[in-house]
Structure 1
């Protein structure tokens, strides 16, 4: 007996569903265990990552507390009590805490007038490529400051040249050392120009700008900043 179009459509739909079921059954028969194993491994890996992330956050919090306690000890004059914690953080601390611990160790050495030891600590931070550039740049400036009297002028100039430029966060401190090195090398013209740049940079602390104005003036360079209103009036004329 011939099937009607409606019955024919229903029959084809049942056959199609049966084929799909057979395919799914065949897939799970062949690959079900492997897929389940992969899923378990993926979940285990994700759980491990979450635990690691949690432990990292906990460790950072613990190290922050430790550094704070070391600072409190230093504030009360207990340098000896702070040093073991600083030594641990300087070796095993996370990036930021490791850098701060070494900076603090260097400052303690500076207080003892151990310029060589302090410079070595700053140099460790400056050469640590795992740290952010601001940490390394600051360490380089402070290292150079500690070593300044023992370095040849050209060494200071070459070391700090990239930081002694307008717009740099370290123009004031690095620029002043470079300008003095130019002066010591007999290049009054370069020293005067750099002092003038320092004096005119509003990002430089006021005390450094005033000193730069005086130094530039001593070399015949007018570095007195022109007030914004006065500059506008001059342009209008």
Structure 2
């Protein structure tokens, strides 16, 4: 008797499975195909990204060698190509190097490129800050005091890793514009910054030594 019930139960399960498959079998096959295609597509995309990054890395190294060999024009073109068509991880770095090469012969054009990178919201934040600083130092020679201010004033006021360099650029721009009081204020800010990077504090000390002395504070009026 138990065998009969078991056979009936198995028949019912087969009937239910057949009914389920008749109703949903096509959807199951389609879903399975989509899953397989999705996994395959993702793997293909990962392979494509890896290949693009590897090729961009090779191109970047080749451009770097051109720059090291003194072939500035060829290096600039190579960096420009990567900055235009390379993967996201290399674009901003290549554009920075392109601007560095341009700065050797055309500071005004380099400044425009640095400004463009600094304003590019899709670029890495640190690379944008580097573009701000490099652009500011170029702007001291080839731009205006306002160009310098727009580029690095946010960095100078943030008291971050770049603040001492930003203050130095602002001080140099003020000195060039003849604003000795502002130049002194910026360089004194660098000297008092315990976290000033590199030898920027020594350079600020030298600038303070050549600046005219700060005007003496007016003597207090005697009171009756």
Tell me if the contact between 1:199 and 1:209 (Cα under 8 Å) persists in the aligned partners. yes
Higher relative CO (Cα under 8 Å, sequence separation at least 6) belongs to: 2
Unpaired stretches in structure 2, ≥5 consecutive residues:
215-224
Which of 102, 108, 112 does residue 116 from structure 1 map onto? Answer: 108
- For 1:226, the equivalent position in structure 2 comes to none
Moved more, 119-128 or 58-67: 119-128
- For 2:30, the equivalent position in structure 1 comes to 37
Unpaired stretches in structure 1, ≥5 consecutive residues:
221-237
Structure number with greater Rg is 1
Provide closer, same or farther for how the CA distance between residues 38 and 65 of structure 1 changes in structure 2, counting only shifts above 3 A.
Answer: same
Tell me if the contact between 1:157 and 1:182 (Cα under 8 Å) persists in the aligned partners. no
- For 1:163, the equivalent position in structure 2 comes to 155
Provide closer, same or farther for how the CA distance between residues 155 and 74 of structure 1 changes in structure 2, counting only shifts above 3 A.
Answer: closer
| 1:100 has 2:111 as partner | no
TM-fit CA distance, 1:37: 1.2
| 1:76 has 2:69 as partner | yes
Superposition TM-score, scaled by structure 2 size: 0.78
Per the alignment, in what secondary structure is the counterpart of residue 117 of structure 1? helix
TM-fit CA distance, 1:192: 4.3
Which of 187, 193, 199 does residue 207 from structure 1 map onto? Answer: 199
Superposition TM-score, scaled by structure 1 size: 0.74
- For 1:145, the equivalent position in structure 2 comes to 137
Q: Which runs of 4+ in 1 moved over 6 A?
A: none
User: How many residue pairs were aligned?
Assistant: 211
- For 1:60, the equivalent position in structure 2 comes to 53
Deviations 1:73-121 (A, max 9, x none): 2222233443442232121012232222222222222212x11111122
1:12-31 equivalences in 2 (<5 Å): 18-31=11-24
